[in-house]
Structure 1
Amino acid sequence: MRIAYGGAPWSTGADEGPSPDTAAEITLHRTAHSTLAGHVSGASHQWATTALELAGFAPAEDGIHQLSTDDPDQTRQALHQLRQSARDLDVTVTLSPQPYLGDIAVDLAQRLPGHWEVDPVPLPEAERQRDLLPWVWSPGPLTAALERHRIPCAARLIGGDTELLLVQSDNECVIGAMLPSPGVIETFVAGPSSISAASTDMAASLIQNRLLPQYQEAVFSSRLTEADDDLRWAQETYEPGDVVEPYSRELAAGLNRFLDHAPELIAHLRRAKDPLAAHDAAFLDDFEAALGQAQSGGGDAMALWLTEGEELIELTQAVPTRQTTVTRPATPTAVPVPPPAAVTSTARSR
């Protein structure tokens, strides 16, 4: 394949992306903004970075190097310099026929409901790519792509506390949900399956209609399980007369998690198809009012949790979600990419 910039042809290598055996490689993509984007990879990827910078590619905040192609003469000169520097530094250069992943991610984010931020994630080393695997919530096309193909760059799509990971594999978009940070919530159920699609339009439809609903159900089921576990632990550990201020760190942490989960449990009950029985509806109204007072400092949050929390949890458990497979994934130990921002600063101490 040959592409001309201002009349100067540039030869490309294989279409499959960087080889895992290459010491230093540059993968170039044409972007939607009249630039060339360069990803580096390989055990000696620092030399690939040097070659890009000698040719005039500017490093962006996301770690991707960019070269404007608005001026054909300057572009031709820069590519000539890149060819020379790559030869001198023993760097392989591949011009990929695939669209730039950053453009794909932005296009996809614009098709999803709500506000999404796009964050390219360079993966210059195979080890960093492997470090992403423990953070993929469930196996599927995304884990298969990360395990079987050398991927020089991924992209995070961040919408509130939801984080998706996008890669390109076999000319398709592959997207999966990442585990929430343990600082946000412990996960107790299988997460949503990752998806693959031949276009951003198809990917957006699958994300909106399948992946995101499954993600929300999994997060809710985890909230409910954690709320139940915390309350059972508190009831088994403390006698009523032993719960006095200042509370132990573990008890205070459990209370804070309950105050975080309770509004979601209430919202779930409000959304239920079948109306609650009259006495259950009255309890929910009273509980919601008491919760509001407790959260504003005007009520006894601990007493509400320990005396009324069980009934709220049992009511919520009676309104099932479609997520039923209970598992306890191992907590990741390597975090090359920061997890989503926590919804509460309270550390999980049990």
Structure 2
Amino acid sequence: MADAQIILAYGRDTGIVAIGHGERYKAAHEALAAADFRRGDDWVFHLPGVDEDASRATVANLVRHATAHGAEVVTSSHRFIGDTARDIARLLPGQWDVRIELYSHPVWQQDLVPWLWDSGELVRAVQTQRIPYAATLTDTAETTLLLVERPGHQLGYLVGAFAPEPFEEGYGDPHAPHSIALPPFAGRAARGIADRFLPTYERAVHARRIATVAEALARIHAEQDAWAAIIASSRHRNAPPLGEAAETFLNRAWAEFLAIAQHAPVLLDRCRPAATNWPGDARVLAELADALTDAEDLDRDASLTLTERDARLRAVLGTWLTHSEPFLRQARAATPPRQQTVPAAALPHQALPRGQHAPRR
């Protein structure tokens, strides 16, 4: 692949579009500007609306300018990815915002790797194949999908997800869902996302929430054991002052509890103890929910003395440590809400149109 390349594709509303990329992508941009292509706000170059003969002449002119700038001009077998992403988004349940992503320099696409929450083909492609551009689809719940043309295929796409915001980076996470391949049909692609990928994604988010809470509870247990050891050794001359040790324990335990406060409410809301083998856990779950409310009140109630605050914090931590096992078994038995599917009536039967070849000289 040339170190400066221009990819031509066809946009439904914009006609011929062009994307420059490579280590010398600026040379590609200079060639496009010299050939009268105009750069949009998304950094995609567009050929102003002209007739077919004029388009043919302009593209021929672009090839000459590209050669002079040391850039290669190629034509995509796909249509413009922005059109594809918008067609799919319109068929997905809910509201989705589409944005175009350009990775003009090859190293830029590596910025995706830490944030991609994927254990399938997509993350491998981003790491090993050239991905000059992509589209993101984000819904109102801030689920963000990444759509790319499938490397090595004339048609077809890959879709995966970024890590949910509360989890920050997602690379290498064992709970990450698998990206899936999509066909070049808007309706079938949307159904694949709605029926296959999004349910898998939601289950993965659910499992990662459980793991996050379980890990936080384990660390609080460890802090409590360390605190108990300090109390047991308090009679020794070299033991730290109990007041200082108590403050350290509570500060560390509270820092860990913040993850529980963030993820446990969603998990509690999904628990249905009556449908499990442990219906008696309903009382325990109610106590845990009340403890979360008490924890929220601690931050809002400025009238509490330090002693009162510490006592209530200990009570909250004690409730969650005591009932961690029934909570985790109920959370693991729970399931995320079922995503809506794409109605069959909304599925067009025609394929997404292939990218139109740019006129040749």
TM-score using structure 1 length: 0.73
8 A Cα contact 1:25 1:40, kept in partner: yes
Q: Which runs of 5+ in 2 are unaligned?
A: 229-242, 336-361
Q: Report the Cα distance in structure 1 between the residues aligned to 2:194 and 2:107, rounded to whole angstroms.
A: 31
Query: Shift of residue 263 of structure 1?
Result: 0.5
SS at match of 1:167: strand
Residues 1:196 and 2:177 are matched in the alignment:
no
Please give the per-residue CA displacement for 1:163-201, whole angstroms capped at 9, x wherever unaligned. Answer: 222111211111122334575487853311111121232
Of 259, 263, 266, the match for 1:264: 266
Larger relative CO (CA 8 A, sep 6+): 1 or 2? 2
1: CA distance, partners of 2:181 / 2:274:
32
Alpha-carbon distance change, 99 to 87 in structure 1, aligned in 2, over 3 angstroms: same
Sort the Cα spacing of 1:99 and 1:313 in 2 relative to 1 into closer, same or farther, 3 A: farther
Task: Tell me which residue corresponds to 1:291.
Answer: 292
Aligned partners of 2:103 and 2:274: how far apart in 1? Answer: 43
State the one-letter code of the partner of 1:196.
Answer: A
| 1:195-344 alignment, distance < 5 Å | 195-198=180-183, 199-238=185-224, 239=227, 242-244=245-247, 248=251, 250-270=252-272, 273-274=275-276, 277-278=279-280, 280-296=281-297, 297=300, 302-303=313-314, 305-319=316-330, 320=332
Q: Tell me the C-alpha RMSD between the 2 structures.
A: 3.3
Equivalent pairs counted in the alignment come to 301
Which residue pairs with 1:90 in the alignment? Answer: 70
Residue 148 (structure 2) aligns with: 167
Contact 2:7 2:76 (8 Å CA) reproduced: yes
Amino acid at match of 1:174: L
CA contact (8 A) 1:34 1:70 kept: no
Displacement after TM superposition at 1:135 (Å): 3.7
Does the CA-based 8 Å contact 2:118-2:178 persist in structure 1?
yes
Asked if structure 2 preserves the Cα contact closer than 8 Å seen for 1:235 and 1:306, the reply is no
Larger Cα Rg: Structure 1 or Structure 2?
2
- Write the deviation string for residues 56-95 of structure 1: whole angstroms up to 9, x where unpaired: 3332333322233255576456435423321321221122
The answer to which structure has the higher helix fraction is 2
2: CA distance, partners of 1:259 / 1:53: 53
| 2:285 partner letter | L
Unaligned segments of structure 1, at least 5 residues: 1-18, 324-350
Give 1:339's aligned residue.
Answer: none
Q: Distance in 2 between matches of 1:165 and 1:271?
A: 36
- Deviation of 1:155 after TM superposition, in Å, equals 1.6
- Structure 1 distance, partners of 2:214, 2:258, is 14
2:122 alignment partner in structure 1:
142
**1:34-60, CA deviations, whole angstroms, 9 ceiling, x for partnerless residues?**
332211122211100111122233323
- Give the SS at the match of 2:271: helix
Secondary structure of the equivalent of 1:113? coil
| TM-superposition CA deviations, 1:115-156 (whole Å, max 9, x none) | 322222212233333443444333323234335543321122
Give 3-state SS (helix, strand or coil) of 1:43's partner.
coil
Whether the aligned pair in 2 keeps the contact of 1:102 and 1:155 (CA below 8 Å) is: yes
User: What do residues 189-239 of structure 1 show as CA deviations (whole Å, max 9, x unaligned)?
Assistant: 331111112123222222222222222222222222222222222232243
Answer whether contact 2:3 2:22 (CA < 8 A) is retained: yes
C-alpha displacement of 1:256 = 1.9
Higher deviation after alignment, 84-93 or 265-274: 265-274
CA contact (8 A) 2:223 2:253 kept: no
Corresponding position of 1:3: none
Match of 1:101 in 2: 81
For the 8 Å contact 1:142–1:176, the answer to whether it is kept is: yes
Distance 1:251 1:56, change over 3 A: farther
AA in 2 matched with 1:274: T
Closer, same or farther: CA 149–165 of 1 in aligned 2, 3 Å: same
